[in-house]
Amino acid sequence: MIPKNHPRYNSLMQRHLIEEGIHKGITSMQGLIAQGRGETFDYLLKEKTSKYAEEAIHATAALLLLSIKPVISVNGNTTVLCSKELVELSNELKCSIEVNLFYRTKKREKLIEKEFLKFNKKILGAGKKIRLKGLTSNRGLVDVKGIYCADTVLVMLEDGDRTESLIKAGKKVIAVDLNPLSRTAQKASISITDNVLRVIPLLIKEIKKLKKKKTSELIKIVLKYNNEKNLINSINLLKKGI
Ligand code: ATP
Ligand code: MG
């Protein structure tokens, strides 16, 4: 048991959840390595949400509210870290959640589907799929009722190749990635440089707030946001952390 007053309690708890995910067969070994990379960046960010991440979350909330068909894409890591919060987010947006795995097996898909059913959410992606043009790996397999026809896709701890092909397919991509230098962060329409565990509750709060705004105000928020500038600010913040 990790004592609650441990200075790095959240990070250690997260590591514990990923380890459990490996034992249950939900998370892949590569997911464990991704966790290690994430912890390094989070350490440099002092495990806090920066004002730049807050700006990106603000724009994300507006973009999601403007989207006709947003879809939340989940993998093994996000499932064990924050499935409950992601269900709350999907209910708030009345949108689908779809499982998308690089190391895809029927068993892992079903295990992830079961985790979401615990919160009464039937997710997409565990059944019949078709291939999204331009991506030959398993990640190119998408649900016709989900990512295939989505206009905006929220991805977390994502691979750069898929982000790029989603953008090429004409979709807006919102990425949650602690590494602002990753291809995912560099290619996404909006990149939130922060820990997914902190981001999702903040995003739900922001969506509840922005729901009261007029469409024209939401459009203004999205147009005002500059992802390139935001990434530079986040990279400079990481440098300060060193
Ligand atoms: P890319 O393919 O985009 O160039 P990559 O190959 O380094 O990036 P992937 O394994 O494809 O990385 O995706 C994992 C990413 O998720 C890493 O950048 C890692 O820092 C980040 N990450 C890990 N844990 C978290 C977390 N809890 N919250 C947000 N991001 C995280
Ligand atoms: Mg990658």
Distance 174 CA to ligand 1 centre (A): 14
Q: Which pLDDT does position 218 carry in this prediction?
A: 98
**CA–CA distance, 54 with 203 (Å, rounded to integer):** 9
Query: Under 8 Å CB-to-CB from 224, ≥6 apart: which residues?
Result: 59
User: pLDDT tens per residue, the chain (242 residues)?
Assistant: 778 888 888 888 999 999 999 999 999 999 999 999 999 999 999 999 999 999 999 999 999 999 999 999 999 999 999 999 999 999 999 999 999 998 889 999 999 999 999 999 999 999 999 998 877 877 889 999 999 999 999 999 988 989 999 999 999 999 999 999 999 999 999 999 999 999 999 999 999 999 999 999 999 999 999 999 999 999 999 999 88
Where in the chain are the domains?
A: 51-241
200 CB within 6 A, ligand 1: no
Among 38, 21, 16, smallest CA distance to 177 is for 38
Q: What is the pLDDT of residue 134?
A: 78
pLDDT of amino acid 16: 94
What is the Å distance from ligand 2's center to 2 Cα? Answer: 30
Pocket test of ligand 1: the residue of 13, 78, 159 to mutate, having most ligand atoms within 8 Å of its CB, is 159
- Is residue 45 a contact partner of residue 8, using CB atoms and an 8 Å limit? no
Give the span between the Cα atoms of 9 and 23, in whole angstroms: 21
Say what the pLDDT of residue 184 is: 96
Ligand 1, pocket-test mutation among 37, 80, 139, 158, most atoms within 8 A of CB:
37
Residue nearest to atom 7 of ligand 1 (CA): 182
Q: How far apart are CA 130 and CA 148, in angstroms?
A: 8
Q: Quick one: pLDDT at residue 28?
A: 92
* CA-to-CA dists, residue 170 to 163, 188, 228, angstroms: 11, 12, 19
Measured by CA distance, the residue closest to atom 6 of ligand 1 is 159
Class of domain 51-241 as given by CATH:
alpha beta
pTM for the full predicted model: 0.96
Report the nearest atom of ligand 1 relative to the CA of 185. 3
Closest approach atom of ligand 1 to CA 14: 27
Residue nearest to atom 23 of ligand 1 (CA): 38
Q: Say if ligand 1 is within 6 A of residue 35 CB.
A: yes
